Structure 1
């Protein structure tokens, strides 16, 4: 046991906690979401989480640490149970006393789940700080469990279960997706990697998803979700993507590329941009820009209603328009002299060959002055040395790495990025990428990296590239 390392990590926790207290006092609020969602809280919060998790790894026996990791799937399974049986909403609506608590017998009576089994599931979650067991077999929501509240009444949930996630922040849907389809897909990773027929394949048809469900051997996950029998899953998937967006501040897209530097009349194309919700702040803060939102026909058909509700002036002034477009096809001929192509959370859904194809379609429509902005997870190496011999990666972000003695990639404080990487492997045979790996994609497509906005205070890392 490395006592010096333990002491160093303890010092990081103490110093960061003091910084958080100072920030909290300045806000005059104890609301968790009101404070830690703010940019200035992010770095000390990451330092506490990274140091605490690294400290746990140091002081636990290796055997117990490994057993905790290998049984982590039970937490996912338990979260799925409480989401799909409406436990959070039951406690919020039917709970009694100051903590709005209920005995597991009462919870089971409302959701018709065997209370003895349900109680064991909830106790595991309470042991991991999701829910509170206020007395034996009596449970209440806490701050963490309430993040899964859809806001629906029990009567609404029973009358229209398919509308459970409608109008919510999407977090419950995201938990449902991760603990259902994505966890199911991940079970097949070992088989896919061990098989000589699939281990070296990067085809979407050889993703672990392909062996996870009946009839999925020759279909991509997105096409499978669009099958009529999977309509509830597709709807949940859409709400889960809203949940992913809700985890970042609405102005996150502005924390990187300098959109205000674009000249009046500049055109920005948001490729695969949904209804344009992520690029909305660009239009709000940069009135000189015209935005074109591209996505599939059914998606962009919903976009005008979104803009009418959220930025009607831009819609009325013609500063935003919409195109039905498949990004594997050539850019529409009318898209000339484009200043920026924005590709947000697209690359990680596709293996390298498909990503190069997407980028080549964009490159063919670029002028020498066009920029592309890729918004995606940028993976850091766990080692302190981040250099890769021969990689031309442009300007690096000096604040991307965690300070010593923390792991350079922020350890468990940044673990969701690495779990997402395995999610992409499980679902699509795709991946999250390091900066050198992005460079390897961009070069063959005719681009080079000129800026990297990777520090965590950017919320969503960005890579800026130019034609070559």
Structure 2
């Protein structure tokens, strides 16, 4: 046991907590989410989480630590049960007393799940600080489990189960996706990697997804979700993507590339931008910009209603327009004077070959002054050395690495990025990428990196590239 490192980590926790206390004192709110959503809270919060998780790894025996990790799937399974059987909503609506608590037998009368089995499920989650067991077999929501609550009444959920996640912030939907489709797919990773016929393939048709479900050998996951029989999953997936957006501040897109530096009349194309919700702050803060939102026809058909509700002035002034477009196809000929192509959370859905195809289509429409802004996870190596001998590492952000004695990539505090990387492998045979990997993709497509905004205060990292 490394006592010196344990002491260093303990000291880092103490100084980080003191910083959080000072920041909290300057706020009028005591709400946890409201506090930690502020950029200045992020680094000390990450330091506490990273140091605490590293401490656990140091003080537990290797055997116990491995057993905890290898049984982690039980947490996902249990989360799926409580989300799909409406436990948070039942406790909120039917709970009694100041904590709105309910005996598991009463919970069972509302969702039909055997109370003896359900109690074991909820207790496991309560043991991991999700829900509270206020008395034997009596449970209540806490500040974590309440994030799973859709806010809908039990009557609504019973009458319209497919609309469970509609109008929510998407967090419950995201948990549903990760604990259902994505977990199911990940079970088959080992099968794909051990098979000589698929281990070296990066085709979307050889993703672990292809073996996880009946009839998925020759279909991509996105196409599978669009099958009529998977309509409930597709609706949940759409709301889950809103959940990803809700975990970042609404102005996160502004924390990186300097959109205000673009001259009057600049055109920004949001490729695969949905209805344009992520690029909305660009239009709100930069009136000199004209935004073109691109996505499939059915998606952009919904976009005018979104803008009418959220930024009608931009719509009326013609500062935002919409293009049905497949980003594997050539850009529309009218897009011949674009200042910036924005690709947010696009690259990680596709293997390298498809990413190069997407980027080459963008490159065909670039002039010498065009910029490409990629907003995606940027993976750090766990080692202090972030360079690869003989490989272009691109430009790095010097503030991206965690301070010692933490792991350079922030360890468990940044684990969601690495889990998302394996999610992309499971679902699409795709990946999250390091800066050198982005540099290679961009080089193959006729671009070079000029800026990297990777530090965690950027929330979602950004890479800015120019044509070569």
TM-score by structure 2 length? 1.00
Deviations 1:216-268 (A, max 9, x none): 00000000000000010000000000001000000000000000000000000
The answer (yes or no) to whether the contact 1:12–1:48 under 8 Å persists in 2 is: yes
SS at match of 1:433: coil
| CA 1:292–1:324: 2 relative to 1, 3 Å | same
Judged with a 3 Å threshold, the aligned counterparts in structure 2 of structure 1 residues 393 and 291 are, in CA distance, closer, same or farther, namely farther
Spell out the pairing of 1:282-293 with structure 2 (5 A cutoff).
282-293=282-293
Unaligned runs of 5+ in 2: none
Distance in 1, Cα, partners of 2:403 & 2:389: 23
Alpha-carbon separation, structure 2, partners of 1:180 and 1:132: 24
Structure 1: 5+ residue runs without aligned partners?
A: none
Structure 1 residue 336: deviation in Å?
1.2
- CA distance in 2 between partners of 1:175 and 1:330 (Å): 36
Report the secondary structure of 1:426's partner residue.
Answer: helix
| Distance (whole Å) between structure 2 residues aligned to residue 322 and residue 166 of structure 1 | 24
Q: Distance in 1 between matches of 2:460 and 2:389?
A: 26
Contact 1:391-1:439 within 8 A present in 2 as well: no
Alignment correspondent of 2:227:
227
Deviation at 1:125, TM superposition (A): 0.0
Do the aligned residues in 2 keep the contact of 1:202 with 1:429 (CA within 8 Å)? yes
Partner of 1:148: 148
- What TM-score do you get using the length of structure 1 for normalisation? 1.00
For residues 165-223 of structure 1, give each alpha carbon's deviation from its aligned partner in whole angstroms, at most 9, with x where no partner exists.
01111000000000000000000000000000000000000000000000000000000
Aligned-partner Cα distance in 2 for 1:383–1:444: 27
Deviation at 1:33, TM superposition (A): 1.0
Name the counterpart of 1:358.
Answer: 358
Q: What CA deviation, in whole Å up to 9, does each residue of 1:18-43 have, x standing for no partner? A: 00011111103221111011111000
Residue 50 (structure 1) aligns with: 50
Distance in 1, matches of 2:393 and 2:259, equals 22
Q: State the alpha-carbon separation in 2 of the partners of residues 112 and 276 from structure 1.
A: 41
Post-superposition shift, 1:393? 3.9
Separation (CA, whole Å) in 1 of partners of 2:62 and 2:396: 36
Q: What CA RMSD, in Å, does the superposition of the two structures yield over aligned residues?
A: 0.6
**Corresponding residue for residue 389 of structure 1:** 389
Deviation at 1:391, TM superposition (A): 3.2
Find the residue that maps to 1:147 and give its secondary structure.
Answer: helix
- Maintained 8 Å contact 2:394/2:436: no
SS in 1 for 2:25: helix
Distance 1:261 1:77 in 2: 48
Count of residue pairs the alignment pairs up = 468
Q: Give the equivalent residue in structure 1 for 2:165.
A: 165
Matched residue, 1:368: 368
Paired position in structure 2 for 1:447: 447
**Matching of residue 400 in structure 1 with residue 400 in structure 2:** yes
Q: 2:219 is paired with a residue of what secondary structure?
A: coil
The equivalent of 1:9 in structure 2 is 9
CA contact (8 A) 2:439 2:449 kept: yes
**Match of residue 121 from structure 1:** 121
Equivalent residues of 1:393, 1:450 under 8 A apart: no
In structure 2, the residue matched to 1:414 is: 414
Question: 1:324 aligns to what?
Answer: 324
Q: Is contact 1:263-1:288 (8 Å) kept? A: yes
After superposition, residues 20-419 of structure 1 pair within 5 angstroms as: 20-419=20-419
Higher mean alpha-carbon deviation, 23-32 vs 351-360, is at 23-32
